Amino acid sequence: MYLLEKLLESQDEGLADLVEAGSVLFDCPMAVVSALDTDCQHFLVRRGIAAEQTPIGQSFCRIAVAQDSLLVVPDTHLDARFRENPLVTGDPNIRFYAGAPLRLRLHPDAPTTGIGAFCIIDSKPRTFTSADSARLISFARGVEAMLQSRLSSIALSEDAVLLKAMLADKERAQRQFRQAERLTSIGCWRLDLITGGVAWSEGIYDIHRVPVTETEKLDDALAYYPPADRERLEAALDAASRTGACFELELDFIAANGAHKRVRTIGEPELEQGRVVALIGVLQDVTERHRSMAELSKRANTDEVTLIASRHKFVSYVDSCVDKAKISREPLALMLIDLDHFKQVNDTLGHAAGDDVLRAVAMVLRSPWLKDSLAARLGGDEFALVLTDPGLIANLPDIAAQLTEQLRFPRRSKTGDFIVSATIGCSELDGPADSRHDLLQRADRALYRAKAQGRGSFSIDTPQAA
């Protein structure tokens, strides 16, 4: 209960970003990280839900925790366990729920314990594939990593307070401090600005994978960082030495055994009579958390069938391109691409054959002649191509015509031969007032006109056409 209160008090922007990414990836309006106690279900982070907590008896997440596995409810109105639940009959009107339990190690020697769940929620029923389940469980592991890191930071902070109160028993204090370092993969350091000597705790030596010595030199300590990150750390140390400014950095790091790591370091001045005489701080090995976040980012930004950009990546990329184009006045164009007769592939040849077609489309959209254009799968048989190369945009009709020729895939089925083709709607950024919404709306309008002309054709939206 005490640790839960500390988690509720803490604010983690990274966790909020992860929950938002999960909501966007699964196209669910609501997403929650819950934590359970005896009476209540608390929401550590929530998106699309106003309530901060609910009675434990109304909690879907408690069932996911109790069964210690993913809980998927495609339609709550068809599930006797939930159809009369106040969260179903009233606000937020839950019709779909999918939640993966979160397990944390609350103490160094304790087994993992289910504390809540990461879940996505919709007010309408929906299907949830095995691939969706795998992605949700992967997101939950990332949430676990972030919560465990937060608990470790809380434990380290409170261990520091305890250590000050137990200085009378130095040996016991040192043992407990060492336990805290092992638990959190953290060590303490002190840089003497007069001698240039660096003192490390045992935890720092563990991170560096070197034997314990009495002192280190600053240049030797900096040698473990790649050049770019070493420069960032040197600049932070210099500023702290001159101005007394605190710093917090996350850096790449290469241990003595060659292992590549990610570390987080925090530093602040040590003052004597108002003068900075030393810098003190902590160093934490955050490699696993960094890898988890990188993997989650990759999953969120990559379509798993075609391995091109996902809708989530497409949205963020177009927004950044629009912002850049407004400043640089560089051209920007968008193509929305719908496949014709794709449903016939799935219906007559099976979904594996359909996936082959999707991958073939992606291969064309990643052709070298399209240069640095971003190809994305928006969902189903819908694709997008974002063009930033001025030469390609200047010849947009020719590019669209060439794509309609290359995006033709003959197929043979028992019901007869047919061709999967592509219909394309194109638009260009039209001035500094344009937004992603404007660009998409015009491309969609052009796509509608192209479909009216006939399958396998294209149309380009222009101010005159609008």
Domain boundary among 225, 250, 285: 285
Q: What is the CATH number of the domain that holds 134?
A: 3.30.450.40
8 Å CB contact between 445 and 430: no
The domain containing residue 323 runs over which residues?
A: 302-460
Averaged confidence pLDDT in the chain: 86
Q: What is the CATH number of the domain that holds 422?
A: 3.30.70.270
Which residue matches tokens 């999707």?
A: 358
227 and 331 fall within a common domain: no
Residue 163 within any structural domain of the chain: no
Residue 166 within any structural domain of the chain: no
Instruction: Give the pLDDT band of residue 149 (cuts 50, 70, 90).
Output: confident
Name the most confidently modeled range: 90-99, 139-148, 215-224.
90-99
Residue of 105, 34, 44 lying closest to 65 (CA atoms): 34
Domain boundary among 256, 285, 314: 285
Instruction: Give the pLDDT band of residue 120 (cuts 50, 70, 90).
Output: very high
What mean pLDDT do residues 396-405 have?
96
Q: Would the pLDDT of 9 be above 70? A: no
**Taking CA 18 as the corner, what is the angle to CA 14 and CA 21, rounded to the nearest 5 degrees?**
140
33 and 115 fall within a common domain: yes
Q: Would the pLDDT of 56 be above 90? A: yes
| Number of domains observed in the structure of the chain | 3
Domain boundary among 93, 124, 146: 146
Supply the residues annotated as catalytic: 381
Q: What is the CATH number of the domain that holds 276?
A: 3.30.450.20
327 and 374 fall within a common domain: yes
Residue 297 within any structural domain of the chain: no
139 and 221 fall within a common domain: no
214 and 104 fall within a common domain: no
54 and 132 fall within a common domain: yes
Strands 53-55 and 374-379: unpaired
Q: Name the residue type at position 354.
A: G
pLDDT given for residue 117 in this prediction: 93
Q: Would the pLDDT of 79 be above 50? A: yes
- Return the HEC string of 95-138: CEEEEEEEEECCCCCCCCEEEEEEEEEECCCCCCCHHHHHHHHH
SS3 46: strand
Residue of 55, 58, 53, 30 lying closest to 43 (CA atoms): 53
324 and 429 fall within a common domain: yes
Residue 84 within any structural domain of the chain: yes
Neighbouring residues of 255: CB distance < 8 A, sequence distance ≥ 6: 207, 208, 209, 224, 261
Both tokens assigned to 80: 């006797």
Phi and psi based region of residue 12 (left: phi greater than 0; alpha: psi -120 to 50; beta: remaining): beta
